[in-house]
Every structure is written in structure tokens, then in C-alpha cells.
Amino acid sequence: MTDIPAIDALYQESRKFPPPPELVSSAATNSTRIYAEGDDHQNFWEERARSLVWRHPWDQVLDWSGAPFAKWFTGATLNVTESCLDRHASATPSKIAYYFEGEEGDSRTITYAGLLEEVSRFANGLAELGVEKGDRIAIYMGMVPEFPVALLACARLGAVHSVVFGGFSPEALADRINDAKAKVVITCDQSRRKGQTVDLKAFADAAIERCDSVEHVVVVARTGADVNRVPGRDVDYRELVSRQRPVRPATECSSEDPLFILYTSGTTGKPKGIVHTSGGYLVGATTTHREVFDLRPDDVYWCTADIGWITGHSYVVYGPLANGATSVIYEGVADYPDKDRFWNIVEKYRVTQLYTAPTSIRTFMKWGDDFPGRNDLSSLRILGTVGEPINPEAWMWYRDVIGKGRCPIVDTWWQTETGHMMISPLPAVTETKPGSASMPLPGISADIVDDEGRSVPFGGGGYLVLDHPWPGMARTIYNDPDRFVDTYWARFSSPAEGRWRYFAGDGAKRDEDGYFWLLGRVDDVMNVSGHRISTLEVESALVDHPSVAEAAVIGRADPITGQAIAAFVTLKAGVKGNQPLIAELRDQVAGKIGKIARPASIVFTEDLPKTRSGKIMRRLLRDISEQRKLGDVTTLANADVVQEIARRAQMQATTEE
């Protein structure tokens, strides 16, 4: 049989950057010895688990006898909030847990002692409403301090929170409430976004009309808007907590008791309720947060993600709080009231670690260097990226313009299902390469395989798999264990041989040095004349051009090549798109990757269709390219851009004809 690559590895990147010497000399983790420690997976994670607060110790670190359903730290009991709150409120009560920055400039400071008191009051309030251990609570909020309070209050009681991103529609919210049979919904009257308000309470009301399980709705007053109140069901948050005691004993939970359900989109249309448990998840989130960000006592850390996503769960709430960190929570968007808002915040709070999405970085590139240049960014020590692979040129811009060449970039790969980071540089250990997430973290084991499940030699591309259990791994899909096995474990596992491989759904390549390069979802791999080409590699080649800020690439149906490459390109400020530039960009891709990857069409656009989490909706671009009826645009942050792209694509097609 002829070996055909699962995914062609075409784009090459040769630049390398060693850790800054001053960081190496001062970092807690500055030796490759940690990788050797991680080779003994169970001992590695057991040692890290000792940094947390446990009520009762574990009998066994890992029980894999029911694979792929793992159990970590079996026999142990804890309550995660005692690691996140109580010990810090006792040791450093006045230390800042959160700086809150409102979109309109209002701000609040929350200490660990104050956070523990607020969480205790709200936990008592939820108990007054009848919430007990194991009940499911839906949370649908804007980025305000009461958001993490709500998560932690649920955890204090042993209740299971199910956060639904505040940008989702009432229909999406109702589906998630019904699947979890949530007993209480926690929401805001409104949220703020780009100078406007979003009627969260009205959306929640519309959703709950379809939900029989909801007994109470707790409403946090963010704007003070006059919203609908249902007598006997709706409760004002401030009125509820003000009458509660400021102390609440934490409910003892098993290490394997569910901590939260977080829904992620499914190919069948039915969202998948990913279940994460208490002990192993907290060990993984805490360890990776501390090691990847070289966390120190006086740091001010800012993860820009919304708590509605897994990044917000792990690296805004649980990981930072368990580590006793000081974090920033920002309510609004990056360009309100102006395009330097992020950099204002970095300067104001003297942020030391910034963790944000490649989509944001490419947007900042498009706006130009002047906006970050207005602010003092000298406090930054480490820069992080999360959410999708980052193009090498966006990586370089982040390093040079934001980090001034002195801040290591930790490009992290992980998923809702993994719970915490899996592949990432360690800032004082790893020589970084622009666009590469580098290697699996200590205690993590990953491989790249072909269609037959065979490990791909270095230099090749294929499917990214995880071939050893890790503590923060999802335990199941809520009420659907068969779907959990079929979705994540069936394709490359051999149960009869006792070999289990988690298939992430992502393509990747591994270079000759063993560095992993994420190529995006395998659904985004194009088949052009028999070549399996990653959309990310073509996008990276386009963004490498000095005129390009951002690019999205899709494969459209073609009667000759099977698929043809269609590119949608956003140019940097002040650059005009024209036919000579289209030709130049096509040649750029051909030179970087090969003629087979030359785009068949390039459309210039002011923006790309994105969800409010920053993900590019390539499905809509495919609809536009193939002149199909456009799919659902309700979850887009910029729905108006779709029709404009369609108009420009039609004009381009007419010109080419």
C-alpha cells in the first residue's frame, strides 16, 4: 500500500527564540528536568496534587480500569473552594483576587477575604432557594465580578454549574437548561457591550418559557434596567445575599463528583454537555496555570477570555484562584471607547501576564502599531495565546510590538474536553518557534497518527491524539456516555489491546525537532487535486505578507480539482486591495508552500464573520463561495459583515469571468 500523508505538512518556519536569560535565572521552573519528572505520569500529578487542600487523601492516583472513563485521586474528598478561597483568605486576606474594569470605566477591587464572604453569602442564598449538592445551576451572565462568585457559590454547595455564554440565543440557552434540567438560572438584567446593552434577562425569560425544570431565576443588577420580574420565581441577587450570613461551610465532595457541565457544539446539532469533576480538574488547571505563566506572588495576570468558555473556567476562575493569583476581569471589548483599551488596562493595572486569542492579536495588527504605542507595556513579562493556532507573523507582531522582544510567548493548545493546557512552551525552558505550540507539557503524552492510526515520523502531518490519561480530562458527556466514547475514543483506540487514544479532532504536524504545529480542525483540511492541505498553512502564508492583517481560507467545491482554495483577506490599515495585490498574494502562497496551494480566488473584506468568542465562521464563507443559502448567523458578533462579503465575492467572481 502506498503511504499517503493524512495531512501534507508544507509550510516551514525556521526562526527560533531561546528563553530570555533574566527569566531563566529567576523562574521557579527553569530546567528540562521537569519533563523527565513528567514521564512518570502518576507520580508527577500526585506530587502536584499535594499543593491543594484535601479533606481526605486518595487511595489511588488513577483508576483506568473502566477506560475510557477515568477516575483520578479515587477515595479523596475536597471542596475546590477551600483551595481557591479559604486558605488565601486566611493567609493573605487583603490580597487582591480580582481587579474589575467595567466597559464604561467603573472599577472594583475584590480581596480574597471579600470574595470568600460574597461567595459564602451567595451559597447561603442559593441554599435558601433549595439548591442542594448535585443540583444543576445554569449561569448566563456578562463579565462582572458576580460571575465568578456564582460559579464558586455553586461549588461551595457541591452543586453543578452549567455556564452558557452570554452571546448565545434564547434557543441555545433553553437547549442547555433542558439537557441539564437546571433548577436555578443566574443572570443579569443586562450586560454592556461596545457602548450598548444586551438584554440578558429578556433572553433568559424567553428561554425559560420552554423549560420546566427552572424553579428560580436570580437576577444581578448590572445596569439597573427595569426588567420583567416573575413573582415567586425571580429573585434580586443583592436582596438575596444581603440577608445571608457571611460564612458557609464548604460541602465535602468526592474527587470524582461533577464540578461543572460545559456545552460544546456537536456535529449532530445537539450540544455536548462535557462533564468535568472536582479533584483531577483542579490539579490540572492549577499546575498548568502556575507552570506555563511562571506565576509569582506579586504578579497581575489577565486572561481576556469570557468565563462562558472553558478558558474562562480554568484560567480566569479556578486555576488563578487556587494559585492565589491577582487577576483582571474586563467587561467590554478591545475597541471601546478606542482601539487601545486593552493596552490602557495593561498599563493601569501593571499586568505581568497577558493571555488572549490569536483572533484578537490579528485584529490589533490590522489596527496598527500606534494604539499599543500610546501605553506603557513594560510591566508585561509573559504573553500567551489560546483558542486556535496562531500564524507565525501574528506571533512575531505580538512578540515585537507588545512584548518589545523581551517576553516569551506561550502558545497553548487544549480544548473544552481536555480541561486544561496540554501542549505549550514553558517560558524559562523552551526555545520557541513562531506558530508552534512546541511540545506536550510535563505529565502529558501526545502523538500524531495517520489514517490507520500509525505514528507519523517527525516531519510529517496527521491527526493529533492523546495516548495517556491526564487529570483534567472530561469524564463523559452528560447523560450520554455512548456518545462520549464514539465521539472522542472510537476512531484510533484498540480496546481489545488495551490501547486508548483520545482523538482531538485537530490536525497537526511535528517537525524534525519534535515540535507540534497545530493545523486546525480536520474539517478545515482541503483536498486539492489529492493533496490534503491545511487551511491554517495557507492562512499563515497570506498573513506573512506585510499588507495582510488577517485571512480565512476555505475549500470550495471544484469540478476539476475536487476543491479549490478560496481566500478572504483583511488588509492592514491604509492598504488598498487591487488586482496586482491579489496576484502578489497568490505568488506569496506559492512561494511559501507550493503552487498547489495557490488560492483560486481572493476576496478583500473589512472584517471576517466571527462569533463573539472570536472564532471565524468558515462555514459561512463556504456558503458564500459556493453561492448557497447562508446558514444561521445569530451567534455572530458582526452579522452585518456577511452580506458585504457575499457582495464582494460576487463582484470578484464576475471580474474573473
Tens digits of residue pLDDT in 299-310: 999 999 999 999
Q: Please report, in angstroms and rounded to a whole number, the separation of the first and last CA atoms in the chain.
A: 42
What Å distances lie between residue 417 and 152, 167, 411, 558, 571, CA to CA?
21, 21, 18, 35, 34
**Tell me, what's the pLDDT at 168?**
83
Backbone angles phi, psi at 398, to 5 degrees: -60, -45
Rounded Cα gap, residues 365 and 391, in angstroms: 12
pLDDT over threshold 90, residue 514: yes
With bands split at pLDDT 50, 70 and 90, how would you rate the model's confidence at 640?
A: low
Rounded Cα gap, residues 207 and 199, in angstroms: 13
pLDDT over threshold 90, residue 521: no
What Å distances lie between residue 364 and 192, 332, 345, 353, CA to CA?
22, 16, 15, 17
Render pLDDT for 50-69 as a digit per residue (tens, 0 to 9).
999 999 999 999 999 999 99
Mean pLDDT of the chain: 91
Q: Percent of the chain scored above 70 by pLDDT?
A: 93
Q: Would you say 202 and 229 are in contact if contact means Cβ atoms under 8 Å apart?
A: no
With bands split at pLDDT 50, 70 and 90, how would you rate the model's confidence at 5?
A: low
Q: Would you say 293 and 382 are in contact if contact means Cβ atoms under 8 Å apart?
A: yes
**Tell me, what's the pLDDT at 340?**
97
pLDDT over threshold 90, residue 106: yes
Render pLDDT for 580-621 as a digit per residue (tens, 0 to 9).
999 999 999 988 877 888 999 999 988 888 776 667 877 788
Question: By CB neighbour count within 10 A (0-12 exposed, 13-18 middle, 19+ buried), where does 490 fall?
Answer: middle
pLDDT over threshold 70, residue 657: no
Which helix (H) or strand (E) covers residue 628, if one does? Answer: none
With bands split at pLDDT 50, 70 and 90, how would you rate the model's confidence at 652?
A: low
| Strands across the sheet containing 160-163 | 234-236, 216-220, 184-188, 136-140, 160-163, 258-264, 272-277, 476-477
Domains and CATH numbers, the chain: 128-239+270-277 (3.40.50.980), 529-656 (3.30.300.30)
Q: Would you say 15 and 407 are in contact if contact means Cβ atoms under 8 Å apart?
A: no
Instruction: Transcribe 19-55 into DSSP letters.
Output: PPHHHHHH-S--STHHHHHHHSHHHHHHHHHTTS--S
Find the mean pLDDT for residues 481-489: 96
Render pLDDT for 274-287 as a digit per residue (tens, 0 to 9).
999 999 999 999 99
> For strand 502-510 and strand 525-528, is the pairing parallel, antiparallel, or unpaired?
unpaired
Least confident residue range of 59-73, 253-267, 292-306, 310-324: 253-267
Find the mean pLDDT for residues 534-560: 86
Q: Percent of the chain scored above 90 by pLDDT?
A: 77
3-state secondary structure of 57: coil
Find the mean pLDDT for residues 156-170: 93
Render pLDDT for 368-380 as a digit per residue (tens, 0 to 9).
999 999 999 999 9
With bands split at pLDDT 50, 70 and 90, how would you rate the model's confidence at 116?
A: very high
pLDDT over threshold 80, residue 643: no
